């Protein structure tokens, strides 16, 4: 990819565009140049012409010679200008020569032409791609690799997207296979011919030079039928990724609702009632000036919402384009819901290059949508019917009022006419007025008889359900058209089943859009799977290179592994190429993870130095040592070796050596192999290259103290020794199962007697081995072998990995001259003592920060020990250790700021025995605790006598402290407490009182009052009544049990024994209340009673002959 094109410029249509041609050439000295240089006609002119012809012939011959020898094409520069009348100036000639030379070393944009050979090559590699993507889903393939024919092509910096559209409009638009160019051996795709030509002219304008292209904000489109959950999931996505959630139809409603006053659309038809004719008349009578007319655009929007008529492009330009090109949508992104919904809208987006990153179709069955929408629509229908009835009642009441008023007025008129007619002498009937009113105001039929009856609930439910199903079917048909158009433009389109619960749908959506959201930084990245053999060949010839991880798996390294995968003949790596580097992955799962998010894994630090694992697995026979060791060998790639394997290795591979001949002589004579010779064989076997690089596992070794001494002498010290603890019974059971194994070929000494004998020998010999490693190197770990094998494998692998990481950290910090922890580095106590720093066993951090002397000599563990400048420093705890590692120069400088006191000025703990041996040395501070007195504010009540077991010697003086906490404070800051003056007034001395001389009540109070009171309280609380014993006897026995069960001077066994008796006595006392409650008046046969009742019934009557006696208390 980095090779430069040096082909001659034969194709005039190819325009060089590697460097900036507008820059000025290097400055040259000005030379006077005359336009008319030919001499006048005559002998001089002919001589000049002949000389010029000779020079031209000589130069042409020279060019032919150079071309044939050096295989170089000359650069020809015309001296005349384009008009053919004037010569070019020196500056013009120099500029033209400079551009021509620079052009030879520029990258040239090449037009990519697909031919039959490329197609054949794609077909050949098709099978390989299918093998690679067996574990991937079809939708994920469609998102990750939009162009399957380009799997093996090296795409450019913008991957499958058009770099021109990305630079000009900051929009991700997938390029088409028909418009491609090759630049720096990379293929770029374009959406149209115009963008292709623009890139062909100035490629560097559209490509970043020193950094990756800038990614635009996230743009996602959600489409689907009403009720599919677009709004719910759109809001959640917008909140999760901090983007804008836009509902297209709601935005249209906002534009016209100011004039329409109501929402428009089929989904709102059930809310609106049929217009009332009178209201229509009132609206018609309203002045024209007071009505708000809709503009043409608003009428178009209303028709779109109500009838689905297409929107004009001008309206879409005003609504849609700002969401792509204006702030704040441009920088924060959008979640667009409900657009596009038709093919025309999709074509509009494509023509204007307003494409989203991905389109998500929420697919829901019609029956599921009915369950979601129908209840809400029915509620709206019920509300509409109720409002309609109320309106009818109001209209009817109004009509009745108007009719009554009109009849009253007409009655008054008829009465006046009747009086006039009577005065005129006409004959008037009595019921004339009523007949007239009856004829003029006829009784109107009931509205229910005239108008059609309202539909019932079942009919409405069926009608609304059919309407919803029709809308769903129409929406699905439109979505299919949208999908077809988008797929033709290679825009990612995924279908999500949204029929399940929202959390399931949310997880599916997150998985589908993962590449465009959480993994968005990798959108322009491309990883190419490749076979391991081919990758190694490309590395060998120098075309590709090892990554900074070498043969470590970056995914496994991120997961905490510190060992490279054990690649070999039986396990080949999964290799990928990324940015001219080869990465070795453990398996297909790791490869898929790396392909999804390569930038995340390559940004982690490179692996630390490889440390060979050195562990030992020890245990009784049949505890599972070999099984565990073989499993770990598969995981870590190290070597499993036992003492027998080492001996066989010498006899097979080293039989001609001195050691091999010595071994053969021993075996010929029939002698036993002594431990010294066996260790020599082990030492030679461990010199294997694999043991030195990958490590080894000692299987069942060392087993005796002699083995330990010989291993230490040879310098073979395992980092960790794992003892598989297993009892004899379990070992015998496993041995019996192995004897019945059908794959067993030879008889082995694993009978129960042999296993028992070997186990006895092991238990006897392993004790000093365990003790030595526990005390010297603290690297002995016991694992219960009865656990399942996976637990044992994981435990050993985890502990081995932890120790290896600590060693790696130690070596890394040492190489950087930093302080390093030596925890789990197998440092012996003697080595620790020999290399202690100037602070010896005291914590330098506590001394520097708090001026405290914290003595860490009580333990020989190295958990909180750090090495700096070749010396060891002990810390009080993990916090102090971390502070020392962060800034060792502060706490252990070359010239210490805090000097440790002299040995005779340091406090020392004294045991009770040593304190007695120091008698008659006086006790300072009158045997009072100085810490309690000083920390208590030197109050009188804080003068407390110290205890002899908490004694401290400081400055050749002896102090008694109250408890261990007070002694620790004194040890840390002795200067604060040692020289305190006693107050003049001291508490009176406490003299022991003779209990025998006390009066009766005093004696009882000081001896048995507490125990008796507790026993009496318990007896009164429980109120015992034993079967067939009196209450008095039952209470006395219960009290006796209680005294025996809680006697502090008795042993634990006696107390547990009588607490058990007390519990049994309480259960037997409760039999009376149980039987009184459960026994019925009528007799029941035993088979009809409950088992619990029968047991307690028989127990009750058995106690007649088994009442408690004095023997129970003894």
- pLDDT over 60 (residue 671): yes
- Distance (Å, rounded) from C-alpha 340 to C-alpha 481? 10
Rg (CA), the chain: 50
Which pLDDT value is given to residue 417?
A: 83
**pLDDT of res. 185:** 80
Question: What is the mean predicted confidence (pLDDT) over 949-967?
Answer: 93
Checking if the pLDDT of 148 tops 80, the result is no
Helix (H/G/I), strand (E/B), else coil: 848: helix
Q: Kindly list the structural domains of the chain, giving each domain's residue range(s) and its CATH number in brackets, ordered by start.
A: 43-103 (no CATH), 216-275+296-421+458-517 (3.40.50.300), 527-602 (no CATH), 613-624+639-739+749-801 (3.40.50.300), 819-900 (no CATH), 905-977 (no CATH), 1002-1113 (no CATH)
**Residue 272: pLDDT over 70:** no
Distance CA 793, CA 808 (A): 22
| pLDDT tens string 968-978 | 999 999 999 99
Q: 434-445, pLDDT tens digit by residue? A: 778 788 776 655
Question: Which of these, 226, 302, 151, 733, lies nearest to 474 by C-alpha position?
Answer: 226
Rounded Cα distance between 635 and 615, Å, is 14
C-alpha 653/C-alpha 660 separation (Å) is 9
Could you tell me whether strands 639-641 and 581-585 are parallel, antiparallel, or unpaired per DSSP bridges? unpaired
Taking 70 as the threshold, does the pLDDT of residue 554 lie above it?
yes
Average pLDDT over residues 997-1011: 86
Q: Identify which has the larger pLDDT, 322 or 1081.
A: 322
d(CA 466, CA 461): 9
Q: Among 157-166, 435-444, 842-851, 1009-1018, which is the least confidently predicted range? A: 435-444
Among 303-312, 347-356, 437-446, 1013-1022, where is mean pLDDT lowest?
Answer: 437-446
Predicted confidence band at 1017 (pLDDT cuts at 50, 70, 90)? Answer: very high
Residue that wins the pLDDT comparison between 269 and 522: 522
Q: Which of 331, 343, 339, 344 is nearest to 360 (CA)?
A: 339
Tokens of 815: 């190489």
Give the three-state DSSP class for 867. strand
Q: Can you give the pLDDT at residue 408?
A: 86
| Residue 281 banded pLDDT, cuts 50, 70, 90 | low
CB 796, CB 628: distance < 8 Å: yes
Predicted confidence band of residue 560 (pLDDT cuts 50, 70, 90): confident
pLDDT of residue 38: 55
What average pLDDT score do residues 141-148 get? 45
Q: Please check whether residue 154 is in contact with residue 186, taking contact to mean a CB–CB distance below 8 angstroms.
A: yes
Tell me the two tokens of residue 1010. Answer: 């507490």
Q: Strand, helix or coil at 781?
A: strand
Whole-angstrom Cα distance, residue 948 to residue 779? 37
Task: Report how far residue 61's alpha carbon sits from residue 367's, in angstroms, rounded to the nearest whole number.
Answer: 89
Assess contact for 585 and 591: CB atoms under 8 A. yes
Residue 721: its pLDDT value, please?
94
Measured in degrees and rounded to the nearest 5, phi and psi for residue 757 equal: -65, -45
Confidence of residue 1035 (pLDDT cuts 50, 70, 90): very high
Nearest to 720 by CA among 602, 800, 644: 800
Q: Which residue has the higher pLDDT, 13 or 473?
A: 473
**What value does the mean pLDDT of the chain take?**
84
Q: For residue 467, give the nearest of 479, 475, 478, 455 by alpha carbon.
A: 475
Give residue-wise pLDDT tens across range 738-763: 887 777 777 777 788 888 999 999 99
Average pLDDT over residues 619-638: 91
Query: What tens digit of pLDDT does each residue of 886-921 get?
Result: 999 999 998 888 888 988 889 999 998 999 898 888
State the average pLDDT over residues 122-144.
Answer: 45
Residue 404 is predicted with a pLDDT of: 86
Contact predicate 697/630, CB 8 Å: no
Q: C-alpha angle 735/737/738, rounded to 5°? A: 65
Of the pLDDT bands very low, low, confident and very high (cuts 50, 70, 90), residue 422 is confident
pLDDT for 271: 63
**3-state SS, one letter per residue, for 372-440:** HHHHHHHHHHHHHHHHHHHHHHHHHHHHHHHHHHHHHHHHHHHHHHHHHHHHCCCCCCCCHHHHHHHHH
Average pLDDT of the residues in 1101-1114: 70
Q: CA-to-CA distance for 692 and 641, rounded, in angstroms?
A: 13
Q: What single DSSP character describes residue 298?
A: H
Q: Taking 80 as the threshold, does the pLDDT of residue 97 lie above it? A: yes
335 near 238, Cβ under 8 Å? yes
Asked whether residue 1023 carries a pLDDT value surpassing 60, the answer given is yes
Arithmetic mean of pLDDT, 203-209: 84
Weakest-pLDDT range from 295-304, 666-675, 1103-1112 = 1103-1112
What's the token pair of residue 575? Answer: 């290799």
Name the 3-class secondary structure at 182: strand
* DSSP SS3 for 725: strand
CA angle 10, 16, 17 (to 5 degrees): 165
CA distance 788 to 1023: 51
Residue 137, pLDDT > 50, answer no
**If you average pLDDT over residues 140-154, what whole number do you get?**
53
195: CB partners within 8 A, 6+ apart: 162, 164, 165, 179
């Amino acid at each position: 990819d980095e090779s430069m094109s040096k082909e001659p410029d034969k194709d005039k249509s190819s325009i060089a565009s590697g460097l900036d041609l507008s820059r000025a050439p290097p400055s040259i000295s000005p030379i006077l140049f005359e336009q008319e240089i030919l001499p006048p006609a005559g002998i001089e002119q002919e001589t000049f012409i002949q000389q010029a012809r000779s020079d031209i012939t000589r130069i042409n011959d020279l060019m032919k010679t150079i071309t044939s020898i050096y295989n170089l094409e000359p650069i020809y520069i015309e001296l005349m200008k384009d008009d053919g009348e004037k010569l070019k100036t020196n500056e013009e000639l120099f500029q033209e020569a400079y551009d021509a030379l620079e052009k030879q070393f520029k990258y040239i944009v090449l037009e990519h032409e697909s031919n039959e050979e490329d197609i054949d090559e794609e077909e050949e590699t098709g099978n390989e791609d299918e093998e690679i993507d067996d574990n991937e889903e079809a939708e994920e393939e469609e998102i990750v690799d939009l162009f399957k024919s380009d799997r093996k092509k090296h795409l450019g910096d913008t991957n499958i997207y058009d770099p021109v559209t990305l630079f000009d409009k900051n929009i991700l638009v997938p390029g088409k296979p028909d418009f491609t160019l090759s630049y720096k051996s990379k293929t770029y795709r374009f959406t149209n011919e115009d963008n292709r030509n623009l890139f062909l002219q100035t490629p560097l304008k559209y490509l970043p030079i020193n950094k990756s292209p800038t990614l635009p904000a996230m743009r996602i489109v959600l489409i689907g039928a009403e009720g599919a959950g677009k709004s719910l999931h759109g809001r959640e996505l917008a909140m999760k990724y901090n983007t804008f959630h836009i509902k297209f139809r709601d935005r249209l409603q906002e534009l016209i609702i100011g004039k329409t006053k109501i929402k428009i659309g089929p989904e709102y038809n059930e809310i609106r009632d049929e217009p009332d004719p009178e209201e229509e008349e009132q609206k018609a009578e309203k002045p024209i000036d007071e009505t708000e007319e809709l503009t043409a655009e608003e009428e178009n929007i209303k028709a779109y919402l109500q009838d689905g008529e297409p929107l004009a492009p001008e309206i879409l330009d005003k609504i849609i384009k700002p969401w792509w090109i204006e702030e704040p949508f441009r920088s924060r992104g959008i979640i667009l819901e409900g657009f596009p919904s038709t093919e025309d809208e999709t074509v509009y987006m494509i023509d204007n290059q307003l494409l989203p990153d991905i389109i998500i179709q929420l697919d829901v069955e019609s029956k599921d949508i009915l369950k979601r929408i129908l209840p809400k629509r029915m509620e709206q229908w019920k509300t509409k019917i109720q409002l309609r009835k109320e309106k009818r009642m109001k209209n009817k009441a109004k009509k009745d009022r108007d009719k009554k008023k009109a009849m009253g007025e007409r009655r008054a008129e008829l009465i006046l006419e009747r009086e006039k007619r009577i005065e005129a002498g006409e004959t008037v009937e009595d019921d004339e007025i009523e007949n007239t009113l009856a004829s003029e105001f006829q009784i109107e039929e009931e509205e229910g008889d005239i108008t059609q009856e309202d539909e019932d609930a079942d009919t409405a439910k069926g009608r609304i359900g059919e309407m919803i199903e029709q809308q769903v079917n129409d929406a699905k048909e439109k979505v299919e058209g949208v999908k077809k158009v988008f797929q033709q433009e290679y825009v990612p389109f995924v279908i999500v089943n949204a029929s399940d619960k929202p959390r399931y749908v949310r997880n599916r959506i997150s998985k589908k859009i993962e590449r465009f959201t959480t993994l968005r930084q990798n959108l322009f990245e491309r990883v190419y799977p490749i076979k391991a053999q081919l990758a190694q060949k490309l590395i060998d010839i120098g075309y590709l290179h090892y990554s900074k991880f070498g043969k470590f798996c970056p995914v496994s390294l991120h997961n905490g592994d510190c060992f490279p995968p054990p690649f070999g003949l039986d396990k080949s790596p999964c290799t990928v190429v990324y940015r001219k580097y080869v990465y070795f992955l453990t398996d297909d799962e790791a490869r898929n993870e790396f392909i999804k998010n390569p930038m995340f894994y390559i940004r982690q630090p490179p692996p630390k130095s490889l440390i060979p694992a050195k562990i030992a697995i020890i245990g009784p026979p049949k505890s599972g040592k070999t099984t565990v060791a073989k499993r770990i060998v598969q995981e870590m790639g190290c070597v499993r070796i036992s003492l027998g394997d080492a001996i066989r290795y010498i006899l097979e591979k080293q039989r001609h050596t001195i050691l091999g001949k010595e071994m053969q002589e021993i075996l010929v004579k029939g002698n036993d192999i002594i431990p010294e010779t066996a260790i020599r064989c082990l030492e030679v076997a461990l010199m294997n290259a694999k043991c030195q690089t990958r490590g080894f596992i000692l299987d069942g070794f060392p087993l005796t103290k002699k083995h330990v001494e010989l291993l230490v002498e040879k310098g073979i010290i395992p980092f960790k020794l794992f003892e598989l603890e297993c009892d004899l019974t379990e070992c015998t059971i496993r041995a019996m199962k192995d004897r019945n194994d059908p794959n067993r070929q030879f008889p082995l000494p694993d009978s129960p007697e042999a296993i028992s004998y070997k186990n006895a020998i092991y238990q006897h010999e392993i004790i000093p081995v365990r003790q030595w490693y526990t005390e010297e190197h603290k690297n002995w770990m016991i694992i219960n072998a009865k656990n399942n094998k996976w637990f044992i494998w994981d435990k050993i692998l985890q502990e081995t990995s932890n120790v290896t990481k600590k060693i790696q950290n130690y070596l890394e910090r040492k190489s950087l001259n930093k302080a390093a922890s030596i925890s789990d580095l197998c440092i012996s106590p003697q080595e620790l003592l020999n290399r202690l720093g100037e602070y010896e066993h005291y914590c330098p951090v506590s001394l520097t920060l708090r001026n405290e002397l914290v003595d860490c000599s009580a333990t020989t563990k190295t958990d909180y020990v750090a090495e700096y400048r070749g010396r060891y420093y002990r810390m009080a705890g993990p916090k102090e250790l971390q502070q020392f590692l962060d800034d060792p120069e502060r706490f252990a400088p070359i010239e210490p700021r805090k000097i440790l006191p002299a040995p005779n000025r340091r406090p020392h703990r004294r045991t009770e025995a040593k304190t007695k041996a120091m008698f008659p040395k006086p006790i300072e501070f009158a045997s009072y605790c100085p810490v309690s007195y000083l920390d208590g504010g030197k109050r009188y009540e804080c003068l407390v006598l110290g205890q002899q077991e908490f004694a401290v010697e400081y400055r050749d003086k002896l102090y008694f402290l109250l408890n261990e906490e007070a002694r620790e404070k004194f040890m840390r800051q002795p200067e604060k407490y040692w020289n305190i003056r006693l107050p003049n007034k001291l508490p009176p001395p406490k003299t022991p009182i003779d209990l025998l001389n006390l009066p009766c009540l005093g004696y009882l109070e000081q001896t048995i009052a507490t125990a008796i009171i507790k026993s009496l309280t318990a007896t009164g609380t429980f109120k015992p009544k034993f079967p067939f014993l009196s209450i008095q006897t039952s209470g006395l026995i219960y009290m006796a049990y209680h005294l025996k069960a809680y006697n502090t001077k008795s042993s634990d066994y006696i107390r547990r024994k009588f607490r058990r008796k007390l519990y049994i006595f309480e259960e037997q006392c409760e039999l009376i209340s149980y039987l009184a409650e459960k026994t019925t008046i009528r007799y029941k046969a035993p088979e009809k009673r409950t088992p619990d009742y029968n047991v307690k019934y028989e127990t009750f009557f058995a106690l007649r002959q088994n009442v408690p006696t004095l023997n129970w208390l003894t």
